[in-house]
């Protein structure tokens, strides 16, 4: 039927430019330079386990901080008057639309040893702090760049909670604390889950933030991949293997999150 | 809002905007040493240099060409796809949605290197020039498509399924019925999708980085500038981009607000 | 018999391997008001969509007059549809909605304007031509949908549960209005509903359907008084359906008693279903000569015009609608005359309707909800 054919160009396009390239990644990961099958590349990924652990650790930390900072803000915005809400959300989104290289670059000038923050500290007679090129600066960059992705989904779930559900909880004797812990928080879990994935995935795979704010000492998975494809250590086979492992790790993390999500939805259903 | 939450909100917004404000202020900094930290007087010199910089202007032109072409192509392809997907049965629909969601959850860097592998393989197989505009446009269309589909699909779903049939029932052939009745209904979704595709394309760095070959786009040029850690030109560029985006967002917001008000008004009149 | 305008011959339709219509035959006469009546999922909307051209049957033929129209696309059929949720074009105002079909036919603007004005007058929407359809109430949207379909001068108008989204009062008004419009313009109306009262009060002919098959075709009076099987008896109005035995022609045994009846032709000692309408039963004192059956009152509900009394007769619950009152616990006698008893042959529905059976309000509500999600 004609109506079915209408999506055929899209199917062909996605096959050609998403599925085939993924196949290529898998192919490169399991072959050597001559194209013969090998498991060496995958085995070599093990040498970089410290980089993987650092990436996951810093990514998880940034995700956790974003959640900690973002949830209260999302909650505050969701409680504000409707006109104010859309204004505040616009303000959250505005920096997102500025190129993230520029946003990260801005932090470079703030964090430098003789940067603005240190100059201000010095001006009031406090000692300078070394901030640039540390793991802390990388986490800061991640939080700064990705916190809107945490706030927005949580906010959108919170605004969808029917006020009568909250009133029902109050009616049944829940105080504010209990309303939040037993009704609002469980019901907002889907937003939290999607916020966590939306922050964790780019944070764990970034290579710009670590390059710009982490100096050379805070290599992340993204930097490793970059180096194998466009850097000094040119080796697309190893790069593909690292990419594949990264994808698998993210898939596992998302699988765990989704498990959690399903469980919470059941809980949410029970409350309703 | 209570005072505590007001203070908290203010602090977060300071965190979000302080770096941008600093960038903007220093775009007017009159200094020869290109210091990023000492403000030594007002100048528009960096803006002047920015608009005289051949490389920046070339990168800007490339970025705009890529954004226009890929926004247009992904909107057409994506809208067609959404119409098809909306009419599919459960299983094929699920498969299509998974394919659509995949590039959105896959790390950008992996999408980038996978396409790089494809393009490099294609060049070595079929010859032709190295990576450049063509590969960039293909890559941009690919990562924009899911966003177009996801903004058109809900509109199709919300639409009364009988509308298309009603037009045919009144004597309209199917293709014409689509353009006369369905298209106006889903237009807001298509426009949103196109704007999203356009901005995503302009803003993209990671995927372009791996698929651009030697072609410069604005984000790639910015990247090379930040590596060299010089020149308040970059601040001037940031400021210009920021103002453009702010204007665009305000326009969209006003448009949406107007639409909402109209919807509310219609509701009131009905009641 | 009227000249046939729509004929469906041996139609079979299935979706995803599920048979929705099987071996479906129906002839509709020119100028008739025909209602397809049945519970949600019975295939009535599919019949309508087959006529409209939106469903292609797996087998069988659709005729318009003498012409086979199986392969005629919807936009070339001389029928128009009123969809359940009206399907007005939201980006066009009332005038442009009504003018839509005429513009496609390339009619002149002054002619279009004349017709639109006439149509608006007919559906009582004078002066609303330039309203946006979003500003209209449900009832007004309904009227625009009618005007839009009729402006195309169809030979047959298909109406897919058009009144189900309206509230009760408006629904009654629109029933009268639709009937009046149909009589005034004299074209065929094919009306789909699950509301038996709507079907009975509007139609010339009612087609009762269930599970993709026609259960009975007839005038509203025939369908009510002479249901063909337990499904029809149960679906149309409220009824007590009992097992009985046809002893011989004109003599039936039911609830342990023999009654004279008006029915014949079932053979001797044949098992049958017996329908007794609740309003046909009279209450008499127990022990009186007229008390054919005795029972105990288990519930009495005041319904306005009458009382609804449930009587337990040896474990089977009878429903009686009467203006006489009784009290719970009273022993009463039930009196029946031969016309009160209607005998039906046994069918697949025999014994599935429980005690006195009703198409209850809850069921109706549930069906309306399902129906609004589309039958097919």
% of chain C surpassing 90 pLDDT? 35
**Mean pLDDT, range C61-68, rounded to an integer:** 92
Helices (H) and strands (E) in chain A, counts: 16, 0
Exposed / middle / buried, residue C18 (Cβ in 10 Å: 0-12, 13-18, 19+): exposed
Whether residue B64 has pLDDT greater than 80: yes
CA–CA gap between residue C361 and residue C161 (Å, rounded): 18
SS3 state at C314? coil
Which residues of chain A form beta strands (DSSP E)?
Answer: none
CB contact under 8 A, B96 and A7: yes
Please report which residue ranges of chain B form alpha helices under DSSP H. Answer: 3-26, 45-52, 54-86, 90-105, 108-126, 133-158, 162-169, 174-177, 183-203, 206-211, 218-228, 233-270
Closest CB to B163 among C87, C136, C148:
C87
The residue among C171, C204, C225 that closes a domain is C225
**Is B160 in CB contact (< 8 Å) with chain C?**
yes
Q: Does the residue C91 lie in any domain?
A: no
CB contact under 8 A, B83 and A97: no
Closest CB to C89 among B168, B181, B269:
B181
Look up residue B257 and give its DSSP letter.
H
Q: Would you say B25 and A109 are in contact if contact means Cβ atoms under 8 Å apart?
A: no
Whether residue C290 has pLDDT greater than 90: no
Burial C145-163 (b: 16+ CB within 10 A, else e): bbbbbbbbebbbbbbbbbb
Return mean pLDDT, chain A. Answer: 87
Q: Does the residue A73 lie in any domain?
A: yes
* CATH number, domain with residue C26: 3.40.50.300
CB contact under 8 A, B142 and A14: yes
Closest CB to C85 among B162, B185, B266:
B162
ipTM exceeds 0.85, yes or no: yes
According to the 3-state scheme, what is the secondary structure of A104-124?
A: HHHHHHHHCCCCHHHHHHHHC
pLDDT for residue B271 = 52
Closest CA to B240 of B207, B205, B202: B202
CA–CA gap between residue A157 and residue C342 (Å, rounded): 60
Mutant choice from B2, B21, B26, B37 vs A, greatest count of A C-beta within 10 A:
B37
Q: Which whole-number Å values give the CA distances from C291 to B103, C44, C259, in the listed order? A: 80, 43, 12
What residues contact C156, with CB distance under 8 A and at least 6 apart?
Answer: C5, C6, C28, C51, C78, C79, C80, C187, C188, C189, C190
Structure tokens at C183: 């009589």
* CATH number, domain with residue C280: 2.40.50.140
Q: Does the residue A224 lie in any domain?
A: yes
Provide, for chain C, the percentages of residues in helix, strand and coil under a 3-state DSSP scheme, each rounded to the nearest 5.
30, 35, 35
Does one domain contain both C51 and C171? yes
For the stretch A119-171, pLDDT in tens is 888 888 888 888 888 999 999 999 999 999 999 999 999 999 888 888 888 88
SS3 state at C376? coil
The residue among C225, C256, C285 that closes a domain is C225
Domain that holds residue C172: 4-78+154-225
Give the CATH fold of the B54-231 domain: MetI-like fold (1.10.3720)
Closest CB to B169 among C81, C85, C91:
C81
Closest CA to C245 of C349, C127, C350: C350
Closest CA to C35 of C230, C181, C233, C217: C217
Mutant choice from C89, C145, C151 vs B, greatest count of B C-beta within 10 A:
C89
- CA angle B138/B144/B145 to nearest 5° reads 90
Give B19→chain C minimum CA distance, Å: 45
**Is A93 in CB contact (< 8 Å) with chain B?**
yes
**Is C15 in CB contact (< 8 Å) with chain B?**
no
Interface A:B, ≥3 CB–CB pairs < 8 Å? yes
Q: Would you say B19 and B13 are in contact if contact means Cβ atoms under 8 Å apart?
A: no
Give B234→chain C minimum CA distance, Å: 46
Band of pLDDT at residue C373, cut at 50, 70 and 90: very low
Q: Would you say C150 and C157 are in contact if contact means Cβ atoms under 8 Å apart?
A: yes
pLDDT for residue A254 = 81
**Mean pLDDT, range B221-230, rounded to an integer:** 79
Mutant choice from C49, C51, C92, C100 vs B, greatest count of B C-beta within 10 A:
C100
Q: Would you say B110 and A243 are in contact if contact means Cβ atoms under 8 Å apart?
A: yes
Backbone conformation region of residue A85, classed left if phi is above 0, alpha if psi is from -120 to 50, else beta: alpha
**Is C169 in CB contact (< 8 Å) with chain B?**
no
**Is B33 in CB contact (< 8 Å) with chain A?**
no
Pick the residue from chain A with its C-alpha nearest to B27. Answer: A106
Band of pLDDT at residue B269, cut at 50, 70 and 90: low
* Residue C313, beta-bridge partner list: C316
SS3 state at B93? helix
% of chain C surpassing 70 pLDDT? 93
Does one domain contain both C24 and C158? yes
Band of pLDDT at residue B229, cut at 50, 70 and 90: low
Closest CB to C74 among B163, B168, B269:
B168
Whether residue C82 has pLDDT greater than 80: yes
CA–CA gap between residue B113 and residue C242 (Å, rounded): 76
For the stretch C116-144, pLDDT in tens is 999 999 888 988 899 988 889 888 999 99
Counting the structural domains of chain C, the total is 2
**Is B145 in CB contact (< 8 Å) with chain A?**
yes
SS3 state at C243? strand
Whether residue C50 has pLDDT greater than 90: yes
pLDDT for residue B267 = 64
Q: Does the residue A37 lie in any domain?
A: no
Q: At what angle are helices B183-203 and B133-158 packed, to 10 degrees? A: 140
Q: Which whole-number Å values give the CA distances from B80 to B86, B149, B170, in the listed order? A: 10, 9, 24
Phi, psi of A251, rounded to the nearest 5 degrees: -60, -45
Counting the structural domains of chain A, the total is 1
Which residues of A183-270 form beta strands (DSSP E)?
Answer: none
Closest CA to B122 of A14, A41, A20, A235: A20
Pairing of strands C316-322, C307-313: antiparallel
Band of pLDDT at residue A56, cut at 50, 70 and 90: very high
% of chain A surpassing 90 pLDDT? 47
- For tokens 């290197």, name the residue: B113
**Is B184 in CB contact (< 8 Å) with chain A?**
no
Give B16→chain A minimum CA distance, Å: 7
CA–CA gap between residue B31 and residue B47 (Å, rounded): 14
Domain residues of chain B, as ranges?
Answer: 54-231
CA–CA gap between residue B54 and residue B60 (Å, rounded): 10
Band of pLDDT at residue B270, cut at 50, 70 and 90: low
Structure tokens at C161: 């549960």
Give C80→chain B minimum CA distance, Å: 6
pLDDT for residue C189 = 95
Q: Does the residue C286 lie in any domain?
A: yes
Closest CB to A229 among B12, B23, B116:
B116
For the stretch B92-144, pLDDT in tens is 899 999 999 888 889 999 999 999 999 999 988 887 777 889 999 999 999 99
Q: Which helix (H) or strand (E) holds A26?
A: helix A20-29
**Mean pLDDT, range C33-43, rounded to an integer:** 91
Q: Would you say C341 and C280 are in contact if contact means Cβ atoms under 8 Å apart?
A: no
- For tokens 């299509």, name the residue: B96
**Is C16 in CB contact (< 8 Å) with chain B?**
yes
Return mean pLDDT, chain B. Answer: 87
For the stretch B168-208, pLDDT in tens is 999 999 899 999 999 999 999 999 899 889 988 988 999 99
Q: Does the residue A108 lie in any domain?
A: yes
pLDDT for residue B71 = 96
Domain that holds residue A132: 48-271
pLDDT for residue B238 = 80
Measure CA of the first residue to CA of the last residue in chain B; give whole Å: 32
Structure tokens at B37: 């930290």
Q: Which residue has the higher pLDDT, B260 or C266?
A: C266
Interface C:A, ≥3 CB–CB pairs < 8 Å? no
Closest CB to B12 among A22, A69, A80:
A69
For the stretch C209-262, pLDDT in tens is 998 899 999 999 999 988 888 889 888 888 888 888 888 888 888 887 888 888
User: Which subunits count as partners of chain B given 3+ CB pairs below 8 Å?
Assistant: A, C
**Mean pLDDT, range B2-6, rounded to an integer:** 86
Look up residue C91 and give its DSSP letter.
T
Whether residue B32 has pLDDT greater than 80: no
pLDDT for residue C361 = 42
* Residue C156, beta-bridge partner list: C79, C188
Q: Does the residue A39 lie in any domain?
A: no
**Mean pLDDT, range B34-53, rounded to an integer:** 78
SS3 state at A164? helix
Q: Would you say A212 and A137 are in contact if contact means Cβ atoms under 8 Å apart?
A: no
Band of pLDDT at residue C182, cut at 50, 70 and 90: very high
Q: Does the residue A31 lie in any domain?
A: no
**Is C374 in CB contact (< 8 Å) with chain B?**
yes
Q: Which helix (H) or strand (E) holds C335?
A: strand C331-335
pLDDT for residue A175 = 84
CA–CA gap between residue C253 and residue B172 (Å, rounded): 61
Q: Would you say C329 and C296 are in contact if contact means Cβ atoms under 8 Å apart?
A: yes
Please report which residue ranges of C228-322 form alpha helices under DSSP H. Answer: 230-235
Whether residue B4 has pLDDT greater than 60: yes
Please report which residue ranges of C33-192 form alpha helices under DSSP H. Answer: 44-52, 94-104, 109-122, 138-150, 168-185
For the stretch C323-371, pLDDT in tens is 888 888 888 888 888 888 888 888 888 777 666 654 444 444 444 444 4
* CATH number, domain with residue A242: 1.10.3720.10
**Mean pLDDT, range C83-90, rounded to an integer:** 88
**Mean pLDDT, range B17-45, rounded to an integer:** 78
pLDDT for residue B58 = 92
Q: Which residues 213-232 of B are in CB contact (within 8 Å) with A?
A: 218-219, 222-223, 226, 229
Does one domain contain both C313 and C212? no
Structure tokens at C242: 């009992």
Rounded to the nearest 10°, the torsion over CA C347, C349, C352, C357 is -110
Does one domain contain both C66 and C189? yes
Whether residue A247 has pLDDT greater than 80: yes
CB contact under 8 A, A108 and B85: no
* Cβ neighbours of A189 (radius 10 Å): 18
CA–CA gap between residue C2 and residue C143 (Å, rounded): 29
Mutant choice from A3, A4, A5, A17 vs B, greatest count of B C-beta within 10 A:
A17
Mutant choice from C49, C51, C132, C134 vs B, greatest count of B C-beta within 10 A:
C134
pTM metric for this prediction: 0.80
pLDDT for residue A106 = 86
Q: Does the residue A9 lie in any domain?
A: no
Structure tokens at C181: 């419009």
CA–CA gap between residue C93 and residue B191 (Å, rounded): 23
SS3 state at A33? coil
CA–CA gap between residue B69 and residue A50 (Å, rounded): 42
Q: Would you say C17 and C62 are in contact if contact means Cβ atoms under 8 Å apart?
A: no
Measured between beta carbons, the chain C residues lying within 8 angstroms of B155 are: none
The residue among C194, C225, C256 that closes a domain is C225
**Is B184 in CB contact (< 8 Å) with chain C?**
yes
């Amino acid at each position: 039927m004609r109506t079915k054919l209408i999506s055929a160009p899209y199917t062909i396009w996605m096959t050609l430019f998403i599925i085939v390239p993924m196949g290529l990644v898998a192919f490169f990961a399991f072959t050597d330079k001559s194209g013969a099958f090998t498991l060496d590349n995958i085995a070599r990924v093990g040498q970089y386990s410290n980089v993987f652990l650092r990436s996951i650790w810093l990514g998880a930390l940034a995700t956790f901080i974003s959640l900690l900072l973002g949830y209260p803000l999302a909650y505050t915005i969701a409680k504000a008057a409707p006109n104010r809400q859309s204004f505040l959300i616009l303000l959250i989104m505005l920096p997102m639309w500025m190129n993230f290289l520029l946003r990260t670059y801005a932090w470079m000038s703030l964090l430098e040893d003789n940067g603005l923050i240190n100059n201000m500290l010095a001006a009031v007679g406090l000692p300078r702090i070394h901030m640039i090129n540390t793991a802390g600066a990388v986490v800061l960059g991640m939080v700064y760049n990705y916190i809107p992705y945490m706030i927005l989904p949580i906010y959108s779930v919170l605004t969808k909670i029917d006020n009568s559900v909250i009133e029902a909880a109050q009616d049944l004797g829940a105080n504010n604390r209990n309303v939040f812990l037993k009704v609002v928080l469980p019901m907002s879990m889907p937003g939290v889950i999607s916020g966590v994935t939306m922050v964790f995935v780019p944070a764990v795979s970034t290579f710009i933030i670590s390059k710009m704010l982490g100096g050379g000492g805070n290599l992340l998975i993204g930097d490793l991949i970059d180096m194998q494809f466009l850097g000094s250590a040119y080796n697309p086979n190893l790069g593909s293997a690292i990419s594949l492992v990264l994808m698998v790790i993210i898939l596992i993390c998302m699988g765990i999150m989704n498990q959690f999500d399903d469980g919470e939805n059941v809980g949410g259903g029970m409350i309703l | 809002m209570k005072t505590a939450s007001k203070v908290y909100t203010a602090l977060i917004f300071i965190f979000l905007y302080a770096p941008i404000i600093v960038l903007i202020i220093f775009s007017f900094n009159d200094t020869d040493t290109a210091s990023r930290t000492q403000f030594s007087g007002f100048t528009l010199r960096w803006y002047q240099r920015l608009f005289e910089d051949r490389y920046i202007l070339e990168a800007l032109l490339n970025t705009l060409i890529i954004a226009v072409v890929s926004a247009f192509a992904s909107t057409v392809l994506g809208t067609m796809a959404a119409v098809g997907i909306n009419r599919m049965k459960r299983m094929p629909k699920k498969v299509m949605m998974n394919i659509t969601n995949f590039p959105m959850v896959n790390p950008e860097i992996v999408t980038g290197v996978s396409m790089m592998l494809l393009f490099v393989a294609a060049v070595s197989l079929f010859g032709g020039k190295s990576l450049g505009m063509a590969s960039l446009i293909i890559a941009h269309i690919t990562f924009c498509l899911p966003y177009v589909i996801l903004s058109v699909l809900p509109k199709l779903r919300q639409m009364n399924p009988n509308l298309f049939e009603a037009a045919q029932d009144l004597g309209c052939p199917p293709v014409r019925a689509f353009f006369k009745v369905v298209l106006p209904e889903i237009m807001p979704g298509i426009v949103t999708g196109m704007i999203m595709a356009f901005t995503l394309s302009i803003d993209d760095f990671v995927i372009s980085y791996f698929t651009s070959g030697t072609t410069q786009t604005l984000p790639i040029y910015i990247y090379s500038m930040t590596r060299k850690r010089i020149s308040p030109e970059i601040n001037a560029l940031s400021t210009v981009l920021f103002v453009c985006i702010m204007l665009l967002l305000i326009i969209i917001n006003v448009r949406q607000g107007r639409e909402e008000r109209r919807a509310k008004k219609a509701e009131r009149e009905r009641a | 018999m009227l000249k046939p305008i729509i004929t469906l011959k041996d139609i079979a339709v299935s979706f995803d391997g599920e048979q929705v219509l099987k071996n479906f035959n129906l002839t509709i006469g020119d100028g008739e008001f025909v209602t397809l009546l049945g519970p949600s999922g019975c295939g009535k909307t599919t019949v309508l969509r087959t006529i409209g051209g939106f469903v292609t049957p797996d087998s069988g033929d659709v005729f318009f007059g003498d012409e086979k129209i199986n392969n005629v696309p919807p936009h070339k059929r001389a029928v128009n549809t009123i969809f359940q949720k009206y399907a007005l074009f939201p980006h066009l105002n009332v005038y442009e909605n009504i003018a839509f079909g005429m513009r496609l036919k390339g009619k002149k603007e002054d002619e279009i304007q004349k017709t639109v004005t006439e149509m608006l007058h007919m559906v009582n929407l004078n002066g609303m031509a330039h309203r946006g359809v979003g500003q209209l109430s449900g009832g007004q949207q309904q009227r625009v949908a009618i005007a839009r379909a009729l402006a195309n001068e169809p030979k047959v108008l298909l109406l897919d549960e058009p009144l189900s989204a309206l509230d009760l009062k408006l629904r009654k008004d629109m029933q009268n209005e639709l009937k009046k419009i149909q009589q005034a313009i004299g074209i065929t109306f094919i009306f789909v509903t699950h509301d038996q009262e709507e079907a009975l009060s509007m139609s010339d002919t009612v087609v009762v359907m269930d599970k993709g098959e026609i259960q009975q075709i007839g005038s509203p009076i025939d369908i009510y008084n002479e249901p063909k099987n337990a499904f029809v008896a149960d679906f149309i109005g409220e009824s007590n359906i009992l097992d009985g035995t046809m002893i011989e022609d004109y003599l039936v045994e039911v609830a342990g008693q023999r009654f004279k009846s008006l029915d014949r032709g079932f053979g001797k000692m044949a098992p049958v279903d017996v329908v007794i309408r609740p309003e046909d039963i009279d209450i008499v004192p127990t022990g009186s000569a007229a008390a054919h059956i005795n029972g105990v009152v288990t519930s009495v509900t005041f319904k306005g015009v009458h009382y609804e009394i449930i009587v337990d007769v040896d474990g089977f619950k009878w429903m009686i609608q009467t203006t006489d009152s009784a009290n719970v616990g009273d022993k009463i006698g039930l009196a029946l005359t031969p016309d009160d008893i209607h005998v039906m042959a046994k069918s697949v529905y025999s014994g599935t309707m429980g005690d006195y059976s009703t198409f209850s309000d809850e069921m109706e509500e549930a069906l309306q909800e399902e129906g609004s999600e589309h039958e097919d």
